[in-house]
Amino acid sequence: MPKWNKAKVIRIENETAMTKRFWLQAEEGGETDFIPGQFITLDLPIHETRQKRWRSYSIANAPSDTGIFELCIVKLEGGLGTTYLFDSIAVGSEITYKKPAGVFTLRKPIERDLVMVCTGTGLAPFRSMIQDIYAKNIPHQNIHLIFGTRKKEDILYLEEFQKLAEQEDSFSYSVALSREETLPTTSAISWYAGYVHQIYHVQCQDLREDIQFLICGWQNMVDEAEANLLQQGFERGQVKVELYG
């Protein structure tokens, strides 16, 4: 049986109308080590059967010695887990979690350009990776974050990634908005009308061996992006995916 740990919710913030950020502080002795890109599994009181109570969420912050996990969670219509988190959890609530796990992580050393393609809260593992790279000055090549959502008000961590793109020559940031009639003109961000697929199609036309694609989000987007890149001629080992839902 896996070891279960206790954590307390120390902070909650609305990121968008349907997305919240939750900060969990592990209690003393709790398992807190993780690799950027991994997730934690929560045991929520939403079902009599234990395994039907488990919900997994990617960790959105970089590893540190604070014992704090940040989760970025979208409320799903009819979803028992997210409904409980949004409606019943408050600062001070206790949550049971299993130690971080998952293989959607970066291979070290980072010798290839990284193209991170995501939609919605699929951004969370990439934020953890990017924070870790720049906070620890980990040697790396170029990083291109491609994020897709419907409207500008749905963009996650907008100011944070805009600031990073302004400060770091190795980091570029593109946003695709599928339901905006007029695109913003914010500096340091490349804006596109439509979906994420057009961005990597245009910017990654050359078949290069020194590029690694990482894709995270809902299954339809992930499946389409993976199929597109393989059909384009990139090797399967150059395309790593993580599904949400």
Helix (H, G, I), strand (E, B) or coil at 101: strand
Q: Please name the fold of domain 113-244.
A: Rossmann fold (3.40.50)
Tell me, what's the pLDDT at 187? 86
CA-to-CA distance for 56 and 155, rounded, in angstroms?
22
CA-wise closest residue to 121 among 179, 191, 25, 39: 39
Tell me, what's the pLDDT at 65? 94
Q: How do the pLDDT tens digits run along the chain, 245 residues long?
A: 678 999 999 999 999 999 999 999 999 999 999 999 999 999 999 999 988 999 999 999 999 999 999 999 999 999 999 999 999 999 999 999 999 999 999 999 999 999 999 999 999 999 999 999 999 999 999 999 999 999 999 999 999 999 999 999 999 999 999 999 899 988 899 999 999 999 999 899 889 999 999 999 989 999 999 999 999 999 999 999 998 74
Tell me, what's the pLDDT at 1? 63
CA-to-CA distance for 178 and 152, rounded, in angstroms?
10
Tell me, what's the pLDDT at 3? 87
Tell me, what's the pLDDT at 155? 97
Residues of the chain with CATH 3.40.50.80: 113-244
Compute φ and ψ for 73, nearest 5 degrees.
-125, 135
Structure tokens at 5: 């740990």
Query: Does the structural domain 4-101 have CATH classification 2.40.30.10?
Result: yes
* pLDDT tens figures, 4-61: 999 999 999 999 999 999 999 999 999 999 999 999 999 999 999 988 999 999 999 9
What number of other Cβ atoms are within 10 A of residue 231's Cβ? Answer: 8
CA-to-CA distance for 19 and 73, rounded, in angstroms?
6
Residues of the chain with CATH 2.40.30.10: 4-101
Q: Which amino acid is at 242?
A: E
Q: Any idea which residue has 């695109």 for tokens?
A: 183
- Residue 175 pairs with which residues in a beta bridge? 147, 191
Burial class of residue 206 (count of CB atoms within 10 Å of its CB; 0-12, 13-18, 19+) = exposed
Report yes or no: 174 and 126 within 8 Å, Cβ to Cβ: no
Tell me, what's the pLDDT at 50? 86
